[in-house]
A and B are shown apart, each in its own frame.
Chain A
Amino acid sequence: MNLSFESRSSNEAFARCAVAAFLTQLDPTIGELNDIKTAVSEAVTNCVVHAYKDTIGKVYINVKIEENSLIIIRVRDTGCGIENIKKAMEPLFTTAPSDERAGLGFAVMESFTDRLKVSSKVGRGTTVTFQKRLSCRVGNG
């Protein structure tokens, strides 16, 4: 499933709900769905607040359903990129305290999914990929 939309904060709810709607075919638990919605919300907010700071750009979401109900979600932007990924991923580190960002985005994504990968190039953009295996109550297909 592919989705692209403008990096407006009003689209944050749309993005997480669209991903959740797509995944209902796997009959996930409420908790699993909530975890994924939370991670998507954090990733998209990063695009709005950081990648396209003071501007509007495109956010791209790709969701793949692999075997055994493994979900792979990729959130990509072509914004400013991250200079120091390690630093950016430290809990409580934020470059936007005035916007009351808690500095927990990546920590939440890490905690609410099974695996998180961040790749970024300054001036080119950032791609965040996370995986989660659902308990799977329906047959795979």
Chain B
Amino acid sequence: MTAAIAGIGATEFSKDSGRSELALAAHAGLAAITDAGLRPSDVDGMVTFTMDANAETALARELGVPELTFFGRVPYGGGAACAVVAHAAMAVATGAASTVLCYRAFNERSGRRFGQVHTPDGVDNGWHYPMGLVTPAASVAMFARRYQHEYDVTSEDFGRVAVLDRRAAATNPNAWFHGRPITLADHQASRWIVEPLRLLDCCQETDGAVALVVTTVDRARDLPRHPVVIAAAAQGSAADQFTMHSYYRDDLTGLPELGLVGRALWAGSGIGPEDLSALVLYDHFTPFVLVQLEELGFCARGEARHLLADGTLELDGRLPLNPHGGQLGEAYVHGMNGITEAVRQLRGTAANQIRDAEHVLVTAGTGVPTSGLVLSR
């Protein structure tokens, strides 16, 4: 790849930002541009999520970005996280733009909460919402129940993801749950949201924004920060794909769209699972973290629970997972804070720094058409 992440920025992560979503986007955008050692007038491209409420034009006006020669959006909720970087990388590789600002900003806790009941558009949703399957947690719980059934996986196996995330968040000052680790017993005592998911299987809700700047590797080398190279970026949508409800495939225990992303990442980067220094796996709900480990080839089907139980994925383990605390522990910014964590790890500036981090894998929202990145120092 010929593109790099040159700058990152974020707002504080809170439960009530007290500001508009546009104000959050502007704050994070300016922070990322400044971090890259650039000025707003250097930006000529923007990419965000289809779900983002802030128009590229509005953000450009606030930041004083004069001209945009490239702008685009990526659909499917959190599945867009790594894809916005992929689109930005393609734009700078083709010359459609030289410097692209990727952003995601929302008041997801104090404003529109994804976990509440909404009446969605779209014919596909008509097969699920009217029947009482009305929240993302419920959609994932349906997969999780079948996964438990086929592989003898327990609620405690899911809980170990939450415990791991919260342990890392406890020592990350930027995390909402800084200083507040949990035990497996806490997880087991937390109330049911949608069985088999408990409250502590579900990620938190956050007000906040994250932005990052993508440019060519050559240009990034002239900037003050050590560039983080986009070794590979990929999107994936698999056979008989639905958004959150791919219930009509033969197998309900995998995430084939993520398997597709994984294969593209290994092929595109020449880097394999064994070369990675750390993993940042999308963790809106714990069960899909297990399935991702399996889809990406870190273990066989149904075996991820052992990786979680044997310490491999801990901060001091062989392959640390979510060293920032993930979305369960740090913040839920639709996966974008996972990308900035990978950048910090590769710069050597993370709160829970992995020694000599060289390659970090990042994934985006699961259960939806998704995306992933391999970032390298």
Decide whether A and B assemble into one complex. no
Interfacial residues, chain B to chain A (CB-CB below 8 A): none
A residues with a Cβ closer than 8 A to B are: none
